Each structure stands twice: as structure tokens, then as C-alpha cells.
Amino acid sequence: MEFVRNVFDRVRHAEAWTLSVDAYQTAFAEDFERATAVWKLERAQEFYEPDVASWRALMAGDWEESLALLAATGPILAEFYRNRPGVRRIRIVDSPPTAYLQWEMHVLAVRAAAGEHPRVLPTGAVREFEHTAPLPELVSLGPSLLYEVLYDEVGGHLGGRRITDPDVTGPSRAAIQELYDQGEELMSYFDREIAPLPPPDISSATSHPLPDHSHHTGTFHP
């Protein structure tokens, strides 16, 4: 697994086109439409997603409404994935899950039913690659194109880095695939670890909006 560690170190130091949030949204959307296969590595356990109605309901403490809003996105997502490249996501998961992660597992369950291919991998499986920093948030849109998605300390989206160096993009795609191959299918993990949980506890500290943050997230959704 030394290969994987070296790859992610190279990503952190690779030359890249650094994009603001708006520039990232535009460039990523265009590149996503041209991609033939998408591989995503998701590491952080908290993100700030005020443009997602279900997340807002979660933050307001209305778990039933949050889940209902997620369920309503199923047909939209199915249509979205029907006309898009195959998406494979490896999601790193802490145990016990954060409130955000518990919610996101429900998001990914809806996405899995709609056509995405998510898997999960426990945090312990990647600790050996994180001696200097957590794994980066990455989306590979082909052997010659990689995005590192940037966030701040509370999970607010800051934009991204568009990397085209083939000595970085190809090995990074292979490293994401290697982690994915180790992962557990989302639904088997969900049924065992997430479905039995009570509604997440949302503290007053995390439920307050952050007006200075972008209201765009760094992921792809219709």
C-alpha cells in the first residue's frame, strides 16, 4: 500500500489550476458531462451543505422531514444517473458516525437505489496514509483529469484544484480504485450500522447557519 500513500502525497503537491467556488462549479459541471467513468474519494466526516433542503431539515432537528425530502429526490436522481457516466464512490466512515455522516448514509442509500455505486471503508483502513494530513477529497473524471475539492475546517466548500498532470491523475485514479476494491457495499453497511440508529442529535452549535460560507457544495447532484 506504499503506492497509495505516495500517490496522495503527490496530489497534495501537484501543480493545479486553483478555482473559486463559482469557477469550480462551472468547470466541474462541464468536465463531468464529458466523463465516461467517475471515481470519488470522500474522507471528511462533516460538511456544510445549506443548498440541500434535506440537510437544512436535519440541522433544524426535523429528521422525518429530512428523510422525506431525501426520498423525494429518488426519481430525479435516477433520471440524472441514467444519462450520466457510472459513478463509484468510496466513503471513509468513522464509528460511531457523526450526525452528518449518519444523514449522508441515507443520502447514499437513495443514490445507490438511483444508480450510483457507493462503498464504505472504515477510517482505520486509511490511517497509514494520513501521517501528515487526512486523505484529500478527490474526484477522478478520467485518467488525465482529477479534482481535489477544497473545504474549510467546518466543511464549507472553498472551490477546488483541477489537476491534469498524467503522472498524478492516472495513479490517483488507480489508488481510488484500490480503496474502492477494499470497501463494503453501501447497503450492507447501512442495514447493519445505520438503519438501527435513533435520529441524530443536532447540537445548537452545529445547527446555526454560517452566512459567510458558500451555499454551494463540492459534490455533484441534479
Q: How many whole angstroms separate alpha carbon 128 and alpha carbon 47?
A: 23
Query: Looking at the predicted structure, is the pLDDT value of residue 3 above 80?
Result: no
Q: Is residue 118 part of a domain?
A: yes
For 86-101, how does the pLDDT look when each residue is reduced to its tens digit (9 = 90+)?
899 999 999 999 999 9
Would residue 220 count as lying in a domain? no
Assess if residue 216 is contained within a domain. Answer: no
Which range of residues forms the domain containing residue 96? Answer: 2-207
User: Is residue 82, in this structure, part of any structural domain at all?
Assistant: yes
Residue 109 belongs to some domain of the structure: yes
CATH number of the domain within which 99 lies = 3.30.870.10
The pLDDT score that the predictor gives to residue 95 is 96
Q: How confident is the model at residue 5 (pLDDT cuts 50, 70, 90)?
A: low
Answer yes or no: are the C-beta atoms of 113 and 84 closer than 8 Å. no
Residue 217 lies in a domain: no
| Position 219 in a domain | no
Whether the bond into 96 is cis, omega within 30 of 0: yes
Q: Give the pLDDT of residue 222.
A: 40
213 belongs to a structural domain: no
Letter string b/e over residues 22-34, b meaning 16 or more CB atoms within 10 A of that residue's CB? eebbebbeebbee
What pLDDT is attached to residue 86?
87
Domain total in the chain: 1
Q: What is the pTM of this model?
A: 0.91
Res 204: pLDDT = 52
